[in-house]
Chain A
Amino acid sequence: MVATSTHTALSSAKLIDPQTLMTIRSLELRARAVVEGFWSGMHRSPYHGFSVEFTEYRQYTPGDDPRYLDWRVFARSDRYFIKKYEDETNLRVHLLVDQSRSMDYGSKGYTKLAYAATLASTLAYFLHLQGDAIGLLTFDEKVREYLPARHRAGHLRQLMLSLERPASGKATDLVAPIERITTLIRKRGMVALISDFLAPLDRLEKNLIALTAGGHEVVVFHLVDPAELNLGLTSAALFEDVESARTLYIDPAVARAGYTKKFEAHCDALQAISRKLGISYHRLSTADPLEFALFGFLQERMRRGRLFRRAGSSGGGGRA
């Protein structure tokens, strides 16, 4: 779940209730509403902005491009050093959005899919504004649609159109889209996986390993409907699986304890996998405002970036 610090950080910000947000028809407008509001809160953030940042010096070895020699260091110490920078421009982000039928469920008046689409479009809009290239891959039991990562006028609109498609699949298969994205994306980038993860997790880990091994930064957004947390209902009913249309007679009073236990175990398993693979994991309730998600995402990214820099900075340096 999103850290409490997020709440404190965003407490003064004017958050948009997702219920209100979902009343906006256009996905683009929704994204814009979130991001604009987010900016207003972000100005006071100490972790503002991305830039071409110096990371380290490295001793020159023959064959290095002499353009990157730090002549000032040479002047001071009579040694050749090469300046290294973080590659932060042209970040290629791929959004993997689950469009299976299980996403078509929602107890709040809007579905998880609508929430996921809003989340994806918010991220896309935000990153687009930063000048990053955004790609999209929607899937259910197989890959539905793939838009390669681009930064181009009109690409964002096309992406939003794809996100607006209704859910059609019968089942959720997390393995096939990850395999596909592994083969599709050669260049390192970021992969954001937005799903309810209502599928067996056994093969997911292997594919996530393959993805992280490819050098991609993976972010997992685990969407949970509030009703899924505690089974929601109070009276017994025939429960119908929205994916398979299978029905089961369930009495919530009897089944709740077992269900909660199993569901938590499932979430924990997913979280454990994420932690093991160094994947940033965000569990989002569809009742939470989207700003939390965006803020959490950015915060996590900053933190990771800092950690990375701290671990990797061995020498002093300054900006080129």
Chain B
Amino acid sequence: MSFLTPLFLLGGLAIVGPILYHLVRRTTREKQRFSSLMFLLPSPPRLSNRKRLEHWLLLLLRCAALALLALGFARPFLRQAPVDDPTAAQPKRIVVLVDISASMRRDGVWAAARERAEAVLRRAGPADQVALYPFDRQASALVSFEDWNRTAPAERVAFAVGRLATLTPSWAGTQLGSALVTAAEALGENEDGKAAPGPRQIVLVSDLQSGSRLDALQAYEWPKGVDLVLEPVKARTPGNAGVQLVAEGPDSTRAVDAPVRVRVSNSADATREKFKLGWTALRNGNTDTTGELIGAPIDAYVPPGQSRVFSLPVPKGVAAPEVITLQGDPEAFDNTVHVIPHAQQRATVLWIGSDVAEDVRQPLFFLRRAFVETPRVAVRVLASAPAATLSPADLSGSTLIFLTDAVPADKAAALRAEVEAGRTLVFLPKSAAAAATLGALTGREGLALVETKPANYAMLGEIDFQHPLFAPFADPRFSDFTKIHFWQYRKLDAAALSGARVVAKFDSGDPALLEMPLGKGKLYVLNSGWHPDDSQLAVSSKFVPLLWSLLEQSGGVASFVTQYAIGERLTLPAGVNATGLLAPDGTTTPLAGGATDVPVPARPGIYTLTGGAKPQRFAVNLEPTESRTAPLSTDDLEQLGVPVARPKAEVVATVENKTMLQGIESENRQKLWRWFIAATLAVLLVETALAGWTARRATLRTEEVPS
């Protein structure tokens, strides 16, 4: 038998107490009256020199109780071979999640994280199964369970450590929630899809910054039996300040040379609060800044735990500065913001019709008001009479042409040629007389437009929301067109216009809007006008978006966003036919022809889409949440149902420690001290009973023999 706390055995020496008590007690029982104690001094108790002890059974019981108590406190256990440990035999499945988000670029964090991850890998038992998942915005397996199992057991750790060494922190944000979900799901299933037996564990090696996103966990039911062990790593110096661009809405009216607003945030554990903000020049088009500020910087005072917005004026006389730098913060990864201001786009719309511009009953009046100038787009509406000849100057800039009246055949042919070259023409017949022009435009014979006036009014009955024109209205909140009443329309037989696609129909079944591709361009036929004589369309809320949608479809404007965060998707507008992506370091990545959905590059900087009509530049920045580096509270994880286990103390592999740990484990399992305490109590009970009996007998004897 061994003892966990053998020092408590010294308590067993207390049995000397009862022995002495039994020896001494006898001598002090007699009481002797004496005339005066004036001349007496108390003598120390003297042990009786008799060898015989009274009540030896009581003494034995008392000594036994004390000895058992001391033994119980010494935590005895029977030493067993550690092989008998049932938990040790059961193999664990462990997913090691390694955070590689941008915040891991802080000083000393990545090195510490790699060290921790390596330690975790090396701790794995021979029967354990380990997978290594690095994560930033998303987690993917660097070493999957299959890889682990495929490798020879002796080489597994080395294999995983080797893979780990290839990792470097990315520039992306931290989606901790989805990473945990990925890991939990990976743990949940075996290779053959069955639930895995044995304990399952996720070891999270991360800086656990408060900017980590946990939303994915909210709708996720955490599987039972999966524990999360945290291996937090810390930066050498606490605190971090970051700079982000204050997001501007699409309707922002900021002029190109207006001051740029940036938000400077300082983490709660920061020690600094004074910074400098300024524009910096790019070196060789790279993201690395020379550190030389252009113009005078502004002082930014941000107390720890707060964020403030500063307005940074654009320096005069410098061609388009594009980088804002925060100086004074040692953690450099989030101290730079790339800014590409929106350029105002110019578009021209050609109106061919007999309208008088300022006549409120004419469609042109409404068209001009729909295309009002915004900071992003300035639309010029050119009106020309149907009879007038087309001037090349008018045609060159305009991508969208409206035609309302019948035009001479040669002009119609010219217009058709323009459409075939790539422009969009919206044919908007004011009367049935324009049928011939439609025939000339489409090249179809025998087209007829019949003036129709419904008994009450007509509505748009059937709309193809899949069509790009109506796609913005696809949401049920916006898809109600029934409030728009049409008083009259020109009925066109859709069958006669072969090759045309009916985009919208009136409730009577007659086509309302048709689309017909002509060469590179498109021809739209809208069988009713928006002016009050024809319908209420112009006064409805759908009118302006519909016209802008037309303009966008025609390629007149490209709504291109110039500011992106890493991890977002880059949606290329219809007009941009980019073939390559020029990175800040000068490398060009080819893009698939006609690709509209391109992932945003994984490195912050200013990128250029090449190959289009004109190079389109855009800026890529860090996710703003990545600057929030204050530690995340584990309570937040626990609130979301993730059972967080504290990391165990570093296991030092010395023999003594191992033996001691085994001892602690055996003791915990056996819990022999309980038996000793129970035995103590039992002995004490017997002792009490015996002492009571002895005392009663002594009293009886005294009573029998009165003194």
A242 and B35 form a contact (CB under 8 A): yes
Cross-interface CB contact of A249 among B34, B38, B39, B43, cutoff 8 Å: B43
Chain B 32-58, CB within 8 Å of chain A: the 1/0 string? Answer: 111111111111011000000000000
B37 and A248 form a contact (CB under 8 A): yes
CA distance A75 to B34 in the complex (A): 70
Chain B 11-41, CB within 8 Å of chain A: the 1/0 string? Answer: 0000000000000000110111111111111
* Contact A228-B30, Cβ < 8 Å, known A249-B43, A249-B45: no
Collect the chain B residues with CB atoms within 8 Å of residue A103's CB.
35
B43 and A242 form a contact (CB under 8 A): no
Collect the chain B residues with CB atoms within 8 Å of residue A248's CB.
37, 40-42
A262 and B35 form a contact (CB under 8 A): no
Collect the chain A residues with CB atoms within 8 Å of residue B46's CB.
236, 251, 254
* Contact A249-B35, Cβ < 8 Å, known A236-B28, A237-B30: no
B33 and A105 form a contact (CB under 8 A): yes
* Contact A239-B45, Cβ < 8 Å, known A250-B40, A259-B40, A262-B39: no
**Residue of B with least CB distance to A196:** B35
A238 and B40 form a contact (CB under 8 A): no
Q: How large is the interface on B (under 10, 10 to 19, 20 to 34, 35 or more residues)?
A: 10 to 19
Interface: A198 (CB within 8 A): yes
Collect the chain A residues with CB atoms within 8 Å of residue B45's CB.
249
A239 and B28 form a contact (CB under 8 A): no
* Contact A258-B38, Cβ < 8 Å, known A236-B27, A237-B30: no
What's the tally of chain A residues with a CB closer than 8 Å to chain B? 32
* Chain B contact surface mostly: loop
A108 shortest CB reach to chain B, Å: 13
A198 and B34 form a contact (CB under 8 A): no
B49 shortest CB reach to chain A, Å: 11
* Contact A228-B43, Cβ < 8 Å, known A238-B30, A249-B28: no
* Contact A105-B38, Cβ < 8 Å, known A236-B28, A251-B43: no
CA distance A266 to B35 in the complex (A): 15
Collect the chain A residues with CB atoms within 8 Å of residue B27's CB.
236
A198 and B28 form a contact (CB under 8 A): no
Cross-interface CB contact of B35 among A112, A238, A250, A255, cutoff 8 Å: A112
Interface: A225 (CB within 8 A): yes
A204 shortest CB reach to chain B, Å: 14
* Contact A255-B43, Cβ < 8 Å, known A105-B35, A196-B35, A228-B35: yes
**Residue of B with least CB distance to A260:** B39
**Residue of B with least CB distance to A265:** B39
CA distance A255 to B44 in the complex (A): 10
Collect the chain A residues with CB atoms within 8 Å of residue B38's CB.
198, 262, 266
**Residue of A with least CB distance to B32:** A237
CA distance A114 to B25 in the complex (A): 36
B39 and A239 form a contact (CB under 8 A): no
CA distance A91 to B30 in the complex (A): 50
B37 and A241 form a contact (CB under 8 A): yes
B30 and A235 form a contact (CB under 8 A): yes
Collect the chain B residues with CB atoms within 8 Å of residue A241's CB.
34-37
B41 shortest CB reach to chain A, Å: 6
Chain A residues within CB distance 8 Å of chain B: 102-103, 105, 112, 196, 198, 225, 228, 233, 235-244, 246-251, 254-255, 258-259, 262-263, 266
Chain B residues within CB distance 8 Å of chain A: 27-28, 30-43, 45-46
A–B complex contacts, Cβ < 8 Å, 16 sampled: A102-B35, A103-B35, A105-B33, A196-B35, A198-B35, A198-B38, A235-B30, A237-B28, A239-B34, A241-B37, A243-B36, A247-B31, A248-B37, A251-B43, A251-B46, A262-B39
Not counting A241-B36, A248-B42, a sample of 13 additional A-B residue pairs whose C-beta atoms are within 8 angstroms of each other reads A105-B34, A236-B30, A237-B30, A239-B34, A240-B31, A242-B34, A242-B36, A244-B37, A248-B37, A249-B45, A250-B43, A262-B38, A263-B39
